[in-house]
Each structure stands twice: as C-alpha cells, then as structure tokens.
Chains A and B, each alone.
Chain A
Amino acid sequence: MTVGLFIPCYVNQFYPRAAIATLQLLQKLRVDIVYPPKQTCCGQPMANAGFENLTAGCNELFIDNFSRFDYIVAPSASCVLHVKDHLHSEKNEEQAGMIRKKIFELVEFLTDILKVDKLDAVFPHKVGIHHSCHGLRGLHLAQMSELNAPPFSKPQYLLSMVKGLEQVTLDRPDECCGFGGSFCIAEEAVSVKMGKDRVTDHSKNGAEYITSSDLSCLMHLEGILHRNKSSVKVVHIAEILNATI
C-alpha cells in the first residue's frame, strides 16, 4: 500500500509543523508514504467563491500528482471534502472518480483504514476539540448534534489514546468558527464574532489547547487568540497524535 501525502497550499506555507507531524505519524505507523513535490492546491478557494469553472487546472494537476497511489491522505478535512465532492476532469474522469473515493482526511484514515487502536503519544494538557464543519457534516468524523442518531467521534476516539490528555467539554460542541474561506474577508464582522464566541467557549471551559483536523479554522481562531493576547494555543490533531515527551 503506497499512500500519497497531500499537504494543502496554506498548510505547506504557514503550518509546516502540522505537515511534518502528519508525515512522521504515518511513518511511525509503518505506512509507505510519498510526498509528490509538484502539488499546489485543491482548488477550493476559487470554487467556494463561485468560480468552480476556474479550477480545471488545479484538478488536472491534482490527478497528475495523485492518481498513482492506493490512498491519498491530507491533514485537512476541508480540502479533502472539496476533492471528494468536486474533483472532476474532462480528460480523465475515470481517474478523478477513483481519487474521489481514495482520498482520506488523516483522522478517518487512522480510524477507518489503518484501524489504529493504540498510540504512543503523550500530551499532558487540557484540550478542546474544534470540529470543522467540513470534517463533521461533510466527512462525518463525528455525529452531528442536529440529528437524532447514535453518538460517535473519531477524533475523540484517537485523543482518548493519548497519555495525559484531558478532553474539555464544550457548551456548543459543533458550532462553526466562522472562517468559511472568502467569508472571513467578505463578512469580516460576522466571521470574527463567530470566532470570538468559539474561542470563549473553549477558554471558559478550561482548554489550554484547541485542536482540529482543519488548520483553516485554527488559523482563524489563532489570529483572534493572538490579537487578544490569550494564553490558549491552537494545535493540529496530527501534532498531538505524534507528540512524545
């Protein structure tokens, strides 16, 4: 089994430590993982703004980079969901269709494909989970509070294997943080208000860290935390699962 590592453009640039943690964690779990160097972006920034018609270039490049792998894994639920829902190709729709089926977000790859049941990670802190909407309602990484259906949570399951980690209970466990791609600029006031309210939920319930399987949410929340000189930190879930003392 050979796995292609997809590191979304902004993660590559701003959160290399999360990308490194993803790579190292998968290597620790004896996954044969390859990082194709010519990758850029999944095309979501254009598509979500209404310009899906401009994403053909990104789509073809994605297919060139990743069609040869058995699985594709990325530490970003949002980008994975975009590929799953919207990757198409005029030249090679068959390959596009296969990629849509074999791309996985890191957490679901660990729980559903590798079926991880123990980890050597240590992270002695109080942690609040921020469910990204694309991870939660798009990829179903956990049960959604709106539905009358049995609860489960893949990130919670993985974090329960981490020594010393204490999970914090939130008042609104699956409320959106307000990042929303270009929404964070076009609707700045609402976006920031939503982010501030999420941060408050975590801090008042005692979280030292906010973690998520999406760095776009965390980038937005971190911007608010830093501006307000908060001691609460953000950390990608891969960094926790890869953490040792």
Chain B
Amino acid sequence: MKQSHNKNHAALAEDFIKDDDHVNWHDGALWYIREKRDIASKQIPEWEALRETASKIKDNVISNLHEYLLQFEANLKKNGIKVYWAADAGEHNAIVYSILREKGIKEMVKSKSMLTEECNLNEYLEERGIEVINSDLGEYIQQIDNEPPSHIVLPCIHKRKEEIGELFHEHLGTEKGLCDPTLLTRVARKHLRNIFLSRRAALTGVNFAVAETGEYVVCTNEGNADMGAHLSEVQIASMGLEKLIPKKMHLAIFLRLLARSATGQPITIYSSHYKKPREGQEMHLILVDAGRTRQLGRPEFRDSLKCIKCGACMNTCPVYRKSGGLSYHNTISGPIGAILAPNLDMKKHADLPYASTLCGSCSNVCPVKINIHEQLYAWRQVIAKEGYAGNAKALSMKAMAWTLSSPGNFAKAGKAGRWFLSNLPFVVNNKFNPWYKQREMPDGSQDSFSEWYNKNNENGKKK
C-alpha cells in the first residue's frame, strides 16, 4: 500500500498544500458538509440535550464495560452468533482467516470497517491467498488506488472526480476522460453487484452493539453491508470493545446524532439490524481490544472511547481541511485520530497532538461531547514528559522558562525586543525562519509598553 514513511504531519501537509486549487476545493467540500451538519443540527431544538444524553450513556458504557461485554456475549450466543475475543490486530486477523479457511473460502466482500483498516486485514488475508473487495464505493476507490482511506466517513474525499475517472479507466476499463460521477457510480455498481453475487463470505463493521438484545447495527448509505450480508453463507462482524450501548432504546439517541453529525442527513439510508443467522448461514462476531483497554486506563484520555466515528471533528477542523487525512499517517485521522493514535504508538504519533491549533471546534461538533482539544493539550504534556517532543524543543523551552520566570532575568535579557528577536522563533529575520518564509515580522523598533509607562507614569499615577 502507498504510504509515506518517515514524514511527519507538517511535512506531509506541506506537500498537500502545494496545489492551492486542490486544497481550496478540499477545504470547501468539507466545509460544505460542516454547514450541512449545522443546518441539520439546528432543526432539532433538543440537539444539545441529545449530545449530553449520548455522552452520559457512553460514560455509563465505558464505566461498566466489563458487565456489558459479558451481557452482550451471552445474548449473542443465545441468538446463535459465534463470539470471539481478540486482544490485538494479529489475533483478530487470525480469527477471520481461520473462519474462512475452515469453509474453504478464497474470496470475501467487506463493507466499511475502520477497525479492519486499523488491523491491516486486507493485506494479511491477501498474503494468505484470500482476496478481499471493499464494497463501500469510497473504500473501493481507495483500494484500487492502493491507498488507505483519508477520512472515516468519506474515504476518498481528497480525490477529485477526474482522478477517480482515471482510476476507473485503468481498473474497470471505462472510457478515458470519463469523470461524470453518476456514470462512474453506475459502472462501480455493476461491477460490485457481481462481487456480491459471487462471494460466500461478507464482513461488516459495527456501529452500535446492543448489550440487552445481542444484536448489532450497521449504518450505510449504499446498502452495501446488506448486499454482502444477505447473499453470504458466512457473515463476520468485527467490532471494537467500545461500540456497545446498553439498550435498544438508546439507538433512538445515537441514530439521530450519527448521520446529522456526519453528513447533515437526518439518518443514514440504511440502519441494518443483525441479530440471528438465516437458515444455512453462519454468523461470527469478533470483539477486538487492540489498545482500547489501555486507553480506558488513562483517566485523561478514556473519554476518547466514546467516539461513534461520525467524522464531524474532521469536517470542522481547519487543519484537517487544509492538510488532508493522509497527512495524519494513521487509520483514524483528524482530531479524534490525533488523540487515539498516541495510545497505539506514542513515539510514531508524537507529532499528531501538535497538528492542531487547539481551536476547540472539534469538541463543539462532537455528538458525544468528547473534549478533544483538551485531550490534545493533555497528550502534549505526556509526550513532552516521555521525551518524544524533541531535544531542541525541550532546550529552547527551558531557556524560555528561565527568562520568563524572573523579572530580573527578563530585564537582563535586554530592552527593545533584543531578547524576543533572538528567542521567540517567529521573530528571527532570516530565510531559515519558518515565520519569515511567508510572513513579515512584527515591528519591534518602538518603545515597549513598560518603557512608555515608566516615562509617562510615576508610582502608577498619571503625570
């Protein structure tokens, strides 16, 4: 898979920003979705109460996860669904493989599941001779381009229709230059229809798992989860431990919030409930930890597990809109990705909590009220303490702290901005200074306020 190794968010974002027209289009497309979300949420007077309720329900879930998981497992079994527990990506992938191998299945269709992206399931199965086709159109496009999704709801939002036309020409034999979205979608539909009809196994993700009933709900707009599930003899669902809700009635809260937050729709076109295998069908459900219980043990970050993967924080984030999801070099990108990723690999993802201005818009759109921007700030403290913020930064921060901690040191540092000019990074006037590359310096030539004050006031009184 195409991946940019060794470059941090800032460097990948800089590459993305080079094409100004493309960035403006990307920013505009996502802002349009943010505006649709605003309109949809403002049509519901009780919107803020819904968010608060959803947040509280998830509080309850993550505080009582143990009990809910056992209840869910018992109900799944009662319904005839086989249950598996996976501690990490490796275990998860091995379970899927063993299910398929037992049935002699060599081809599988998969609807959208960020968890299986996180586990690199496709690569794992392909190495073992099993072909996987992603049936969500956006994910399918990313798959034929050999690129990970850039957004959890809109996997190929960073691609323009012309690029997609080119990919279809190459992989599906469409006419060169064809980029009409409707025509391209028809071609994909026909192609995927054949896949659905011929695949014996279908894997889906899980949006909500109901502990009380042992059923799970998958939300799609394309109906692709149903197409796969209804035509398969083996149906597999992969879910993170945190996807539980206590009762079926709680869906009334979450289904109202999910699509409005994600795309501004009142609800997804399909909210498919899966509960029991059909006659002759097998259903398997894999509960995956993969770092979630570790995050649960971090008091400052446990609320990140409330996430229902709507993507609203990405659409509203100005940094995301201008840098693209792939610049986050993690399966889950954007603000939520930046608070989840350091839990998985702190060193590798040490740059992500810094890929934010801490503007706070993410926390305001979050349907389960995760304090995302406060967690970004908190991760920075952890990363600096663990020594992953970089030695140069640590040294300059120590010097800055020493000077600013004492009026004597501050005064000795010199008048008229001499200290600022050599210590605050944005005022060093040379081409190696990132501030100066595209911005002029502030004017430090005049008397400072304190100098003016000393000249114009005596003992705090005006002359």
Contact = CB atoms under 8 A, between A and B. Distances in A.
Interface of A: 7, 9-16, 19-20, 23, 27, 34-35, 37-41, 43, 45-46, 48-58, 60-61, 133, 137-138, 144-149, 172, 174-176, 178-195, 197, 219-220, 222-224, 226-227
B250 to A, nearest CB: 21
Nearest to B388: A50
B384 A49 contact: yes
Given A46-B400, A188-B434, A188-B437, 19 more contacts: A13-B444, A15-B442, A16-B447, A16-B448, A40-B403, A48-B380, A50-B384, A51-B389, A133-B361, A137-B359, A178-B319, A184-B434, A185-B435, A187-B319, A188-B14, A188-B435, A192-B439, A194-B322, A195-B439
Given A178-B318, A179-B357, A223-B435, A53 B23 contact: no
A133 B438 contact: no
Contact of B319 (A61, A174, A194): A194
B304 to A, nearest CB: 18
21 contacts: A12-B448, A13-B448, A16-B448, A35-B453, A49-B384, A57-B406, A61-B405, A133-B358, A137-B359, A146-B364, A147-B364, A148-B42, A148-B45, A176-B361, A178-B319, A180-B357, A181-B357, A189-B14, A190-B323, A193-B23, A224-B439
A49 B322 contact: no
B462 interface: yes
B385 interface: yes
A13 B419 CA distance: 10
A137 B368 CA distance: 17
Nearest to B317: A176
Contact of A184 (B356, B435, B444): B435
Contact of B398 (A38, A54, A56): A54
Contact of B10 (A23, A45, A188): A188
Contacts of A197: 27, 322
Interface stretch (B76-84, B191-199, B294-302, B420-428): B420-428
A interface: dominant SS: helix
B112 to A, nearest CB: 26
Nearest to B9: A187
Contacts of B322: 190, 193-194, 197
Nearest to B41: A148
B38 A133 contact: no
Contact of A138 (B355, B360, B406, B425): B360
Contacts of B397: 45-46, 49, 51, 54
B13 A187 contact: yes
B383 interface: yes
Contacts of A58: 401, 404-405
Interface of B: 9-10, 13-14, 17, 23, 27, 31, 38, 41-42, 44-45, 47-48, 316, 318-319, 322-323, 353-361, 363-365, 377, 380-385, 389, 393-394, 397-398, 400-407, 410, 417, 420, 424-426, 434-435, 437-444, 446-450, 452-454, 457, 460, 462
A15 B438 CA distance: 21
Contacts of B439: 192, 195, 220, 223-224, 226-227
B120 to A, nearest CB: 28
B360 A133 contact: yes
A43 B404 CA distance: 8
Nearest to B456: A20
A149 B10 contact: no
A183 B42 CA distance: 32
A39 B319 CA distance: 34
B359 A133 contact: yes
Contacts of B442: 10, 14-15, 219, 222-223
Given A12-B448, A185-B426, A41 B404 contact: yes
Contacts of A179: 357
Contacts of A37: 407, 450, 453-454
B222 to A, nearest CB: 28
Contacts of B381: 50-53
Contacts of B453: 23, 35, 37
Contacts of A53: 381, 384-385
Could you say which of B382, B404, B447 has the most chain A C-beta atoms within 10 Å of its C-beta? B404
Contacts of B426: 184-185, 219
A137 B358 CA distance: 10
A10 B420 contact: yes
Contacts of A52: 381
Nearest to A136: B360
Nearest to A149: B48
A218 to B, nearest CB: 9
Nearest to A35: B453
A176 B435 CA distance: 18
Contact of A12 (B42, B384, B450, B462): B450
Contact of A189 (B17, B401, B417, B454): B17
A34 B459 CA distance: 9
Contacts of B450: 7, 12, 35, 37
Contacts of B363: 137
Nearest to B433: A185
Could you say which of A11, A34, A175, A224 has the most chain B C-beta atoms within 10 Å of its C-beta? A175
Contacts of B460: 34-35
Contacts of B446: 16
A135 B363 CA distance: 15
A46 B442 CA distance: 21
Could you say which of A172, A179, A189 has the most chain B C-beta atoms within 10 Å of its C-beta? A189
A16 B452 contact: yes
A186 B31 CA distance: 24
Nearest to B407: A38
A192 B380 contact: no
A13 B402 CA distance: 18
